[in-house]
Amino acid sequence: MAAGRQSGVPKKSSTSVAENAPARWQGLAAVADARTRALVLGSFPGVRSLQLQQYYAHPQNQFWRLLQALWRQHPQPAREDYAGRCEWLLARGLGLWDVYDSCEREGSLDSAIRAAQVNDFGALRQRCPDLKLALHNGGESFKHARQTEALGLTAIKLPSTSPAHASWSFEKKLQAWREALAAHGLL
């Protein structure tokens, strides 16, 4: 697992002219290693995730709950054991990252993302030789499917696990995620 970068405090851009310009945030490092066969790609961590330096840290985000429902036979470490949860994912061939390395944003909504810098997918692809699949967690992430496909990855758009994406029930999201992971031998 890659070490996290300090990003809990926004960095104001030196090129910002307006005093009330949105804060510039630095994203989290990828959770991936040589075992990674599929990469869950979000857009950019929410404020809570940045504060805690943990992917999907907001208690209402359904990501960790959804994956536990998919792998019931493998109990997930407790919420307090984030490193254990990351290892739990890696042991199943799943990695985590976001499409954006940094951006300006007020709040946590994807619609508020501005001046985004895209992550270096090519470098991660070299680090993960068995990586074959990009699981885009929501629409904002899926806007970058061409970039992941250009690396030879199959790109799949999945319903967002974010609490902001409440139009799909947990069961409907679970079914979509189950079908995608099962189709690629991850269940």
Question: Annotated active-site positions, please?
Answer: 61
**Contact yes or no for 146/134 (Cβ under 8 A):** no
Residue type, 153: L
Q: For residue 130, what are its two tokens? A: 């068995």
For residue 38, the cross-strand partners are: 94, 133
Residue type, 48: R
**Contact yes or no for 58/48 (Cβ under 8 A):** yes
Buried/exposed 131-143: b ≥16 CB within 10 Å, e otherwise? bebbbbbbebbbe
